[in-house]
Amino acid sequence: TIQFEIADGVATLTLNRPDKLNSFTVQMHSELADAIRKINADDSVRAVLLTGAGRGFCAGQDLGDRAVNSGDQAPNLGDSLEKRYNPLVRSLRALPMPVICAVNGVAAGAGANLAFACDIVLAARSASFIQAFCKIGLVPDSGGTWTLPRLVGSARAAALMLLGDKVSAEQAADWGMIWKCVDDDALLTEAKAMAAHLATQPTKGLSLIKRALNATWTNTMDEQLDLERDLQTIAGTTGDYQEGVKAFLDKRKPAFTGK
Ligand code: LHQ
C-alpha cells in the first residue's frame, strides 16, 4: 500500500491506494512505520520525500476499514490514534533530516494533518486541504490542532476545523499553511529537485535546525536562546561546518558529507 525507495540520499515514500485516494488502513500504517524505521537505520538517507499516487494525496482514515470501524460496536478511535497516527506523526517530526511533502491532490482529514507534520510542503495547483473531521463528528487529529493554528493563526484554524471548508493549494500558500503551490506537472520535478538539493546539504546541521523549530512553540525566548547555544555547540563540532567555512574562504562549492 506504499512505495518506498532509497536512492542518491533521498528516501521516497509514496502512499499507494489510489482507488481510495490513499486513505489510511492499518496495513498502510504498518508499512509506513516500517519504512520510517528503515530510514532511521540508514545513514545514507539525507532527505525524505512524501507524496501520493494517483489523483489524491491522502483522504485520511479509510472509513471502510473494518479493523478501525468494526460493525455495530463503537470503535475505540483513541486507540487507533495511540497505536498508529500518533507514532506516525511523532516519528516524522523526529526524523533527523528534512521531510518534504509533495501534495499531489486532495489532502483530507488525517491526510491534511500528515502533510502539516512535514517540514516543507509543496502542493500542486489542483490540490486542496480539508479538515474533514467535523463533518463526521470527529476531532481533528494527527497533530492538526497543534500545527494548523500555528501555521495560519487561530481565527482561520477555528473556522477551517469547525466548518470543514475546502482550501485550495493557492489559498493555502497565500495563508502560509504550506510553503508553495506549483503547477501540477511541475510538482514532482520540483519536489525531487528540492530533495536532491537537501541531500547534499549539512544534514546534521539541518537536523539541529529541526530540533530548534520543534521546541520553539513551547519555549520562552530565554529557553530558546539556551537551546540555540547548545545546538550551535554541536553544530560547531561537525565536519560540515569546517567544510562550509573552508569552502567559503576558498571561494569554491562545499562538499558536505552530512556529518
Ligand atoms: C474513501 C475515503 C476515505 C474510504 C475517499 N475512506 N474511502 C483517525 C482515527 C480513526 C478513525 C477515524 O479517523 C481518523 C482520522 C481521519 O482521517 S477522519 C477523516 C476521514 N476522511 C474523510 O472524512 C474524508 C472522506 N472523503 C471525502 O470527503 C472525499 O472523498 C474527498 C473530499 C477527500 C474527495 O472527494 P472526491 O474528489 O469527490 O472523491 P470521491 O469522494 O469520489 O472519492 C474517490 C473514491 O475514494 C471513492 O470510492 P469509490 O469506490 O466510490 O470510487 C471514495 O469512497 C473513496 N474514498 N475518501 N476516507
Domain of 229, CATH number, reads 1.10.12
Q: Are residues 110 and 235 in the same domain?
A: no
Q: Are residues 143 and 223 in the same domain?
A: no
Q: Are residues 152 and 178 in the same domain?
A: yes
Distance 28 CA to ligand 1 centre (A): 15
Q: What is the structure's pLDDT at 67? A: 76
**Please, which residues bridge with residue 12 across strands?**
5, 49
CA 98 – CA 214 distance, rounded (Å): 13
Of ligand 1's listed atoms, the one at least distance from the Cα of 21 is: 46
Does some domain include residue 22? yes
CA 163 – CA 183 distance, rounded (Å): 28
Helix-, strand-, coil-residue percentages of the chain, each rounded to 5: 50, 15, 30
Q: Are residues 214 and 130 in the same domain?
A: no
Pick from 170, 160, 192: which is nearest to 12 by CA?
Answer: 192
Q: What is the structure's pLDDT at 126? A: 98
Q: What is the structure's pLDDT at 70? A: 66
What are the backbone angles phi and psi of residue 176, rounded to the nearest 5°? 80, 15
Q: Are residues 230 and 123 in the same domain?
A: no
Report whether residue 17 contacts ligand 1, using a CB cutoff of 6 Å.
no
Q: Are residues 129 and 16 in the same domain?
A: yes
**Total of domains in the chain:** 2
The rounded average pLDDT for each run of 10 residues, N- to C-terminus, in the chain (259 residues) is 98 98 98 98 98 98 85 86 98 98 99 98 99 98 98 98 98 98 98 98 98 96 98 98 98 98
CA 81 – CA 84 distance, rounded (Å): 5
Report whether residue 101 contacts ligand 1, using a CB cutoff of 6 Å.
no
Does some domain include residue 255? no
Domain of 61, CATH number, reads 3.90.226.10
Does some domain include residue 211? yes
| Cell 490542532, located at residue | 145
Does some domain include residue 45? yes
Taking a C-beta distance cutoff of 8 angstroms, is the pair 139, 81 a contact? no
Does some domain include residue 73? yes
CA 39 – CA 189 distance, rounded (Å): 22
Taking a C-beta distance cutoff of 8 angstroms, is the pair 100, 48 a contact? yes
Q: Are residues 209 and 166 in the same domain?
A: no
pTM of this structure: 0.97
CA 125 – CA 38 distance, rounded (Å): 32
Q: Are residues 178 and 224 in the same domain?
A: no
Of 198, 213, 229, the last residue of a domain is 198
Q: Are residues 77 and 178 in the same domain?
A: yes
Of 198, 218, 241, the last residue of a domain is 198
Q: What is the structure's pLDDT at 226? A: 98
Q: What is the structure's pLDDT at 71? A: 67
Distance 21 CA to ligand 1 centre (A): 7
Print the domain residue range for 15. 2-198
Q: Are residues 141 and 229 in the same domain?
A: no
| Cell 533521498, located at residue | 10
Of 181, 198, 215, the last residue of a domain is 198
Report whether residue 188 contacts ligand 1, using a CB cutoff of 6 Å.
no
Does some domain include residue 191? yes
Does some domain include residue 209? yes
From residue 155, alpha-carbon distances to 12, 110, 158, 225 in Å are 35, 20, 5, 29
Q: What is the structure's pLDDT at 162? A: 98
Report whether residue 108 contacts ligand 1, using a CB cutoff of 6 Å.
yes
Q: Are residues 24 and 48 in the same domain?
A: yes
For β-strands 10-15 and 166-168, DSSP reports them as unpaired
Q: Are residues 173 and 115 in the same domain?
A: yes
